[in-house]
Each structure stands twice: as C-alpha cells, then as structure tokens.
C-alpha cells in the first residue's frame, strides 16, 4: 500500500507524516508520531478513549481517516500542558483524585477543555453531558465532574482578575478537601 | 484486488465526477461515524472511499419561503446549536441531542444518518413527520424525493451508486403546530434506540381538537414507519387523555418489531403505546394545548 | 406512572488471597542525605498502592513525602509481590514496607541514641527529626542521623521486610483464618421505576465502606464512587452476547442476533447516568493492619446491585433474580403480577 505524506498542526507545531489510505488518525498519532496519550480501545467511537480536538471540536480519532486531516489542527493532552506548566484541568484532575488508572483521562480532559473553551459558566449537568462520550470504569465520573467544575471556577476567577491575558496556565486550582474525608455529596450543583 | 484509494473532492462537481467513475466500488463518507467503524474492523468491501466532508457547498442551514433548507453535511452538533431548528423543528433538534455522545455528534451528519438508513437512525422519524424531502444529485441531474419514498428496506435506500443527497428541505409547521421526539434506550447517552417515536401535532384554533397528527416510529419495523391508523383515529378528535390513550393502543397493529440483542419484539410492542402517548403529550405541551 | 423505592444491602468480604501463599516484600534504603528509596513488587494500576506506600513510609520515617521515591513492579529488580489482586496491597504491601522500615529505624535510632545519650527505644521519628520522646528539644535531624549512620557508626540504614497473610484453611469445624481480616460495605439506593416501560432511573446512591483506617480518604472515596457506578451498570444494563439474559430472561437461550458485544451494546454507565452519590467510609481500626488499615478494593462494587434490586422491589413489587434487571424483565414482572 502506498504511503503518502500529509502535513497538519499538532499541538501548535507543523508536522509531516507518512500514512496509508486506510489509516485512521488514532493509528497515525500513536504509531507514526508516538503520541500514545491517545488510547486505542474500541475503535468504533463508543468509548472516547481516543478523543482529540480537531479544528476546535472533540472527535474520536478512530473515526477520522488520517488522509482527511491535511492542513487541519489537532490537539492532544500534551497540547494543554506538560509538567510543571499544567492547565487548570490537568491540575484539578490530579489533585482531586479524578484520575485512577488514567486510561480515560486524556480523552476526558480534552472533552472538558472543549466545553470550557465555549463556556466557563458550566453546571454539573453541562459537564456530565460534555463527558458523556468518555467511558470510565474507575471513578464513576464523580471526581472528574468535580474536577471540571473546580477548574472552571479557577479559570473564571483568574479571568476576572486578569482579563485580557491568557491566564489558563496560571490559574490556581483550589483544593476542595484536605485531611479526613467527610464524604462528598455530588448533586446537581457544585 | 486493486489497491485502496481515498478521494477528497473539494466541490460537488468533482464529487459527481468521482461518483460517476467509481460509484459502484466506492462508499461515500461524510462524518465517518459509520464507514470508519466498518473500515477499522477490516470489513469494508468497497475499495474506494469518497470523502465529501470538505465540500463547503453541502453545509448550510437557511430559511427560504417558509422552507428550512439543510445541507447534508450539517452535523448533529450544528443542528443542536441552531436556534431556528430548536424553536421551530423541535423534533429534529431533540433527536439530535439524544444521539450518541459529543464526539460522535461533532462528526455525524444528517445526510449520513439518512444514507445509512438504519431503522434506529434517530433523525429519521423526525424528518418523516416533518414531511422532509430530499434533493439527490448525480452527473445526470437532480431528483426530488419525498422522505417516505427514500427508504427501501433496512439500511437500504433508493440512492443510486452515482448519487448524493444534496439538500434536505423541511416545510415550516403551521402556527398551531409543534413536534416532538421520544426514545427508549439502555442508558442516558451513547445509546442506540430500542424504540423511538416522533410526532407532529397541529391543533384547531381553539386548541381543543386535533387538526392533523403525524407519527413516525423508529426501531419498531424494518424501516421507520408512519402510524397511519393512529393518525387517522386522532384527526378532528378532541384533545384529551382518553382519546390519546385509545388511539395510542392502535400503534401495535402498525409495527413489525423484531427481537434482537437489544430487546424482544414483545417489549418493543409493549412500550410503543407509551412512547406514542409521550410524544403526543410532549408536542401538545409545546403548543399549550390539552391537559394531561 | 413513576414509582419510587429504596433498598439497602450490606456485605462482608475477605481480603488477600485466602487459599494460597501471597507474600509481598519491600526493600527500604535511607540515603546519606536523608532521602528514602523503596523498592517493592507491589504494582499500582491506578488504585493508589504507590501513594499509600509513600504515605505510610512518610509517616513511619517522619520525613516529607517528597523525599521518598518508590520503585515498583520490575520483576528484574524489585522484590516479590504476588499481584494487585484480592484487595491485598494496602494491607500486605503496607506491612512489608513497615517491617522494612523497622530495620531502618533500628540503625538510625542507634545513631541518634549515641548522639543524644538516650536509650534507642525512647526515640521517635517525626517532622524530619529523631527526637527523645520525653523531651522533644533533644533531637537530631533525620538527615544528620542518616549521614552519621553511614560514616560515623558505619551501619547502613537499609531494611528489608516481607509479609505473608495467614491463610489458615478452615477445618471441619469451620475454624481457621483464611483471611487476616474482613472488611464491610453497604449501599442504600433510591430508584424511580416507570411502570409503563420498566425503565429504572437510579436517583441516589449512598455507599459506605469500612476500610479500617483510611490512609488516603480521597482515594477511598474515589473507590467507593467508582464501585457504585460499576454496580449500577451491573444491576441494570451490562450484558454480553451470545446469551443475553437481559433480553429474553432465559440464561440458556442463544441470542438470535449473535455478534461480539461492543461498547455500544454492553452499556456501562456514562457520565449522564451518574446519580446523586454520597460516598464515604467508616474506620473500624484493624489492630493488625498497617496503621490500622484494611482495604477498599473489590468490595466497593458488591452491594450497589442488590440495593438497587431491593429498591426496585420496594418501588413496584417486582423481584428480579438474575442480572441485569433490564426494563424488559421489570415490565414482564409488572405484567404478570
């Protein structure tokens, strides 16, 4: 099968890779570039583990033909931040226990990022809906939802203090709980 | 064997040429939410994919002379974000919100939903009750097809190998008209319909009687079907609980549900009445007519 | 019509592999600068064993979390662990690590005893210091003790520890000790059943685990929440081909639409299916456990399903006896009542 070159923007950088016509974006990212944060799971668009942001919208990378992304923009979790400069969402997921085995986490955070890019005034229902295409077995979604709400709050507070500046990497995430658990109630609100 | 090829026409005219040349061995791909599943599983029999997702002239939502005109490449997400569709074509809007999950909705298109023609395709019952018509196009010209005539069997349409859906047209409802959509699935998201119902209701000026009723049912027969007996039964009748419940019972005679991995025929038949009732009452409450 | 009901279920559960030897072991080294390295076969899959091991070591050595490095699950270099199964690691790895730390402390306390002129068994590790229990002003810094152990007292503060759970099989009189300890879990569920379609909406789940001392309360809560949702899926939706009991209600009837089950049909809960959850723990301290801890592993998925089934019965009087309690089974139950 003939390989051909395509160029696209990955996490802000122009990349060129060689792909075959049947290759999906998931395979192209993992095997041609080595971005293994995009996970291979069902390859049917049923689980969201391969979620990436393509031209501003979340999609399942397994449902996108690599040949079709010439000239487009792809964002994976690395594009949000790498330690020590983490995006508030990444900080929130890490510090609030919203990640256990971590397999669904990159995709889930990208879904949350796409949500917060459109709207920072999100309710728990908005968050659940935005995450509804990312299956998770470990967390029961409770702490991920809490983490997204926490990150949204941090980003709103930063934005109001320093409006006009890109503050996403400087927003500080409030730690909701320290020490002994008193139980958490995850209801409709925060 | 021949090697596999991917074409990405930039405009409709190129697409027409490609379809004329490769049509029989090609599969048209819009959002990819159906084609890619087959390809990933190694089960794609075609040796050519014609990817139409970049054809800008096929993506539009506009209002013209009392008709909503939608391009086939409009995604579920774009339908959901469109204020006009939410207000005036609630059935279509609601079905889009209840389909799959956010990622699939960003890719999946209305044209794709029609082309795949699954009896569980959630946009199809709304398009049926909204009396949509489709404009199909090939190198030899255009055709207008009423949606009721578009499907020839489960996952089968009258669309020829060299043709594409170019546009979907939906007439606006009369003032005293509203539409709705209900579905039963396994869970609250990412759920293929076990049974679904779309309804359009138009009422008399005093909102006390049904003027016209249209009901379409999904996943309850090999293709999406209209519940014509129920519609006939309700036309001109008073809007009240008794009338609706009695009419809804008749839906069992109009469906041919199957037993599959998701539900038995028995279950589908049992819940069909409840679905039809819910869809009717939902449309009525949009209208502000009747009291449950 | 929609009807609501509540149900409760509780369970007792064993931990560690009860019928076979299943040790864990650990090597602990305190370096000359007072930092510590732990090597153990215990594998963290995301359940948090590495975190709790670090916390326990930090507490036992009295040094900062950040000064401890843990190397795990390298079959070439780390000492044996049986596996991340049977809810065993907090307990078994914890005890192994603490045993290794006892050996380390013996060396460091000998150094501090010499330096401070006190008996070694009157010393404690806390806040980066080794202090005299009767006079906290009499202390030596942990890192200083480490350095002097290396180069003054000529003893390396290294330790090795292991732990084998008891595994005493039950005899003909029912006496034995297959599991070192038992832990407990309970759930209260509130559901709403649609009597026309049999669909069940889980409104609330209140779940509690007795994990002994919760070494990391946030992670215990995460476990309980995850288990609650797993139980919800198990109770109501999850089913595989080809037998698909959920559809026909018969467990031996071959499904006519056989194909391998995909995630679109298997039906694990999505974020939108998450009900209101209250998840927490109680602490019945286990004297034999590391810092009194037991476990918070598999048990968390155990009582959600029976609680939901009981709630369905409470709501509409339909008793489901095989899972999943699909809307079809409930509707059949309602029609035949």
How much is the pLDDT for B3? 84
Name every chain B residue with its beta carbon within 8 A of the beta carbon of A24: 36, 39-40
User: What is the pLDDT, as a whole number, of residue A1?
Assistant: 56
pLDDT in tens, B134-161: 999 999 999 999 999 999 988 999 999 8
Tell me if chain A has a CB within 8 Å of the CB of C220. yes
**At B128, is the pLDDT very low, low, confident or very high (cuts 50, 70, 90)?**
very high
pLDDT digits (tens, 9 = 90+) for B226-280: 999 999 999 999 999 999 999 999 999 999 998 877 788 999 999 999 999 999 9
Task: Going residue by residue through chain A, which has 190 residues, state the pLDDT in tens, using 9 for 90 and above.
Answer: 578 999 999 999 999 999 999 999 999 999 999 999 999 999 999 999 999 999 999 999 999 999 999 999 999 999 999 999 999 999 999 999 999 999 999 999 999 999 999 999 999 999 999 999 999 999 999 999 999 999 999 999 988 765 544 444 444 444 333 333 333 444 333 3
Answer yes or no: C288 catalytic: no
First to last CA, chain B: 62
| Closest in B53, B103, B188 to A60, CB measured | B103
Neighbouring subunits of A (3+ Cβ pairs under 8 A): B, C
A161-174 pLDDT, tens digit each = 655 444 444 444 44
pLDDT recorded at residue B259: 82
Residue of C nearest to A108 (CA): C271
The pTM (predicted TM-score) of the whole model is 0.92
Which residues of A are less than 8 Å from C229 in CB distance?
140-142
DSSP C305: H
- What pLDDT is recorded for position C257? 55
Task: With CA atoms as reference, report the closest residue to C149 among C162, C139, C140.
Answer: C140
List the single residue in B190, B261, B271 with the smallest CB-CB distance to C255.
Answer: B261
CA-based nearest residue in chain A for residue B42: A22
> Chains with 3 or more CB pairs closer than 8 angstroms to B?
A, C
Mean pLDDT of C63-75: 96
Give the residue carrying structure tokens 């082309």: B115
Residue C193 with chain B: CB contacts under 8 Å: none
Residue of chain C nearest A139, judged by CA positions: C226
**Closest by alpha carbon to C107, among C164, C137, C150, C75?**
C150
What average pLDDT does range B102-129 have in this prediction? Answer: 95
Report chain C residues whose CB lies below 8 A from the CB of B187. Answer: 237, 267, 269-270, 272-273
CA distance B23 to B13: 14
**Cβ–Cβ gap C222/A97 under 8 Å:** yes
Q: How far apart are CA B271 and CA B258, in angstroms?
A: 13
> Kindly report the CA angle at A115 between A113 and A119, in degrees rounded to 5?
115
| End-to-end CA, chain C | 16
Please check whether residue C271 is in contact with residue A141, taking contact to mean a CB–CB distance below 8 angstroms: yes
């Amino acid at each position: 099968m003939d390989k051909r070159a395509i160029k696209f923007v990955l996490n802000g950088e122009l990349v060129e890779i060689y792909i075959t016509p049947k290759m999906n974006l998931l395979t192209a990212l993992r095997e041609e570039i080595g971005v293994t944060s995009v996970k291979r799971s069902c390859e049917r668009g049923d689980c969201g583990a391969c979620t990436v942001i393509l031209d501003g919208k979340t999609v399942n990378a397994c449902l996108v033909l690599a040949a079709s992304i010439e000239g487009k923009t792809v964002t994976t979790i690395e594009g949000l931040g790498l330690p020590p400069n983490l995006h508030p969402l990444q900080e929130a997921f890490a510090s609030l226990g919203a990640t256990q085995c971590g397999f669904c986490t990159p995709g889930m955070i990208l879904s949350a990022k796409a949500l917060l890019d459109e709207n920072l005034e999100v309710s728990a229902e908005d968050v659940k809906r935005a995450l509804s295409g990312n299956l998770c077995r470990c967390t029961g979604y409770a702490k991920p939802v809490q983490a997204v709400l926490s990150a949204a709050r941090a980003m709103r507070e930063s934005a109001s203090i320093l409006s006009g500046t890109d503050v996403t990497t400087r927003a500080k995430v409030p730690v909701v709980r320290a020490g002994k658990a008193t139980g958490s109630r995850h209801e409709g609100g925060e | 064997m021949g090697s596999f090829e991917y074409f990405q026409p930039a405009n409709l005219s190129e697409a027409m040429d490609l379809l004329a040349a490769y049509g029989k061995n090609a599969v048209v791909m819009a959002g990819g939410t159906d084609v890619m599943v087959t390809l990933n599983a190694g089960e794609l029999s075609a040796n050519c994919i014609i990817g139409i997702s970049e054809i800008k002239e096929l993506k539009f939502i506009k209002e013209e002379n009392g008709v909503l005109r939608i391009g086939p490449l409009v995604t579920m997400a774009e339908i959901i974000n469109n204020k006009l569709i939410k207000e005036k074509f609630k059935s279509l809007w609601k079905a889009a919100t209840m389909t799959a999950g956010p990622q699939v909705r960003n890719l999946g298109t209305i044209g794709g939903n029609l082309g795949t023609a699954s009896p569980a395709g959630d946009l199809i019952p709304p398009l049926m009750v909204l009396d949509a018509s489709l404009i199909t196009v090939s190198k030899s010209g255009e055709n207008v097809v009423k949606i009721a005539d578009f499907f020839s069997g489960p996952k089968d349409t009258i669309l020829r190998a060299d043709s594409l859906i170019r546009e979907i047209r939906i007439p606006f409802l009369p003032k005293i008209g509203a539409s709705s959509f209900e579905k039963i699935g396994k869970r609250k998201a990412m759920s293929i319909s076990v049974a679904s119902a779309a309804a359009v209701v138009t009422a008399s000026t005093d909102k006390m009687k049904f003027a016209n009723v249209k009901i379409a049912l999904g996943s309850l027969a090999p293709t999406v079907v209209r519940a014509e007996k129920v519609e006939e039964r309700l036309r001109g009748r008073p809007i009240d609980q008794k009338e609706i419940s009695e009419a809804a019972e008749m839906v069992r005679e109009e469906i041919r549900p199957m037993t599959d991995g998701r539900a038995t025929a028995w279950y589908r038949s049992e819940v069909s009445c409840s679905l039809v009732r819910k869809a009717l009452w939902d449309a009525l409450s949009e209208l502000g007519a009747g009291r449950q | 019509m929609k009807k609501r009901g509540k149900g409760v279920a509780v369970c007792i559960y064993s931990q560690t592999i009860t019928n076979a030897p299943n040790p864990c072991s650990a090597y602990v080294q305190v370096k000359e600068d007072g930092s510590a390295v732990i090597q153990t076969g215990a594998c963290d899959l995301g359940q948090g064993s590495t975190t709790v091991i670090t916390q326990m070591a930090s507490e036992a050595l009295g040094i900062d979390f950040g000064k401890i490095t843990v190397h795990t699950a390298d079959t070439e270099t780390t000492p044996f662990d049986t596996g991340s199964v049977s809810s065993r690691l907090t307990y078994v790895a914890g005890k192994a690590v603490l045993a290794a730390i006892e050996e380390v402390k013996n060396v460091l306390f000998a150094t501090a005893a010499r330096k401070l002129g006190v008996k070694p068994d009157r010393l404690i590790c806390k806040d980066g210091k080794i202090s005299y229990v009767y006079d906290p002003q009499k202390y030596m810094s942990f890192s200083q003790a480490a350095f002097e152990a290396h180069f003054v007292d000529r003893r390396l503060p290294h330790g090795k520890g292991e732990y084998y759970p008891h595994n005493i099989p039950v005899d003909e009189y029912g006496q034995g000790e297959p599991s070192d300890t038992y832990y407990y879990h309970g759930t209260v569920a509130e559901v709403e059943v649609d009597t026309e379609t049999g669909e069940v909406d889980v409104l609330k789940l209140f779940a509690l685990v007795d994990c002994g001392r919760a070494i990391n309360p946030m992670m215990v809560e995460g476990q309980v929440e995850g288990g609650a949702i797993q139980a919800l899926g198990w109770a109501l939706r999850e089913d595989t081909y080809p037998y698909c009991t959920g559809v026909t209600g018969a467990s031996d009837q071959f499904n006519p639409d056989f194909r391998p089950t995909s995630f679109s049909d298997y039906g694990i809960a999505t974020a939108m299916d998450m009900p209101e959850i209250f998840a927490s723990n109680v602490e019945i301290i286990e004297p034999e456990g590391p810092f009194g801890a037991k476990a918070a592993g598999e048990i968390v998925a155990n009582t959600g399903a029976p609680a939901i089934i009981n709630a369905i019965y409470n709501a509409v009087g339909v008793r489901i006896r095989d899972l999943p309690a699909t809307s079809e089974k409930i509707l059949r139950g309602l029609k035949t009542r």
